[in-house]
Amino acid sequence: MSKHMLNGYCFIIYGFLLLPILVVVGASFNAGAFLTFPPQGLSFRWYVVFFHNDVFWRAIRTSLWVAAVSTLISGVIGTMAAMFYVQHAGRWKESVRLAMLLPLLLPEVLTAISLLFFVYAIGIGTTTMAGMLIGHVLMTLPFVFINVSAAMEAYEPSWSLAARSLGAGPFTRFRRIMLPLIKPGVIGGCLFAFIISFDLFTISFMLKNVGTATLPIQIYDYLRTNFTPEAAAVSTLSIVMTVVVVVISEKLFGLRIHRF
């Protein structure tokens, strides 16, 4: 396959993936009263409407809070699980890996239904956000585990033994030796976890408590009764926020992680 054919093939694939996003962004500038594409004129009208919609802003704050807490919990548990998997799992290694990746192998709706029965069985129900947080952690944990495990594979146990021989305790060895070396995997896994959590719909829909809605749920509820370009404006903002998180993480951490 020639270089030009390969470039053309890649261009088609990228175009196929980006086309729905471009349609949503274009529809958000629609001057008409209905969500149509191509736009019936260009206008920022629906962005103005969105910025004065407290319901959507409350949903955005909820999504950001849930994603941040879920990422923190997944980051800690996923990192510890990856350390155990690489260094101590032994003959149980494949069983541990399968258990950690199981949420990705099962349909999300089945996981959501199972979690719904689980939270009611333990007495949590949907009266608090604890059930939704459990679901988000379960769905984001595999991404942290995969990234940290990949980083851990390049870690030599002899480095910890050398530090131990010099008098470094377990916490010091982790903080000064291991963490800086696996930092790219931890940051990458947490970044994936945050984005996945922010966009989760089925888990959030099944496990949310009364009166609480994340952004995907709020957009779904809005489109059930309204079909205006405001939904496209909200979706565009969600896309922009995701891109901003990725760019800022790359600027803040992408260059620094190679210094350790």
Cβ atoms 249, 191 nearer than 8 A = yes
| pLDDT (mean) for 100-125 | 84
Report the distance separating Cα 99 and Cα 92, nearest Å.
11
Question: What mean pLDDT comes out for the span 161-189?
Answer: 77
Q: Indicate the SS3 state at residue 12.
A: helix
Model confidence, pTM: 0.82
Taking only the tens place, the pLDDT of each residue in 140-151 is 999 999 988 888
What average pLDDT does this structure show over 199-226? 84
Q: Give the model's pLDDT for residue 20.
A: 82
Residue ranges of domains in the chain? 54-225+232-259
Q: Check whether the bond before 157 is cis (ω within 30° of 0).
A: no
DSSP track, the chain: --HHHHHHHHHHHHHHHHHHHHHHHHHTTB-SSS--SS-SSB-SHHHHHHHT-HHHHHHHHHHHHHHHHHHHHHHHHHHHHHHHHHHT-GGGHHHHHHHHHHHHHS-HHHHHHHHHHHHHHTT-TTSSSHHHHHHHHHHHHHHHHHHHHHHHTT--HHHHHHHHHTT--HHHHIIIIIHHHHHHHHHHHHHHHHHHHHH--HHHHHHPPTT---HHHHHHHHHHH--STHHHHHHHHHHHHHHHHHHHHIIIIITGGGG-
Question: What is the per-residue pLDDT for 179?
Answer: 76
pLDDT tens-place string over residues 46-74: 888 888 888 888 988 999 999 999 999 99
- Tell me: domain 54-225+232-259, CATH 1.10.3720.10, correct? yes
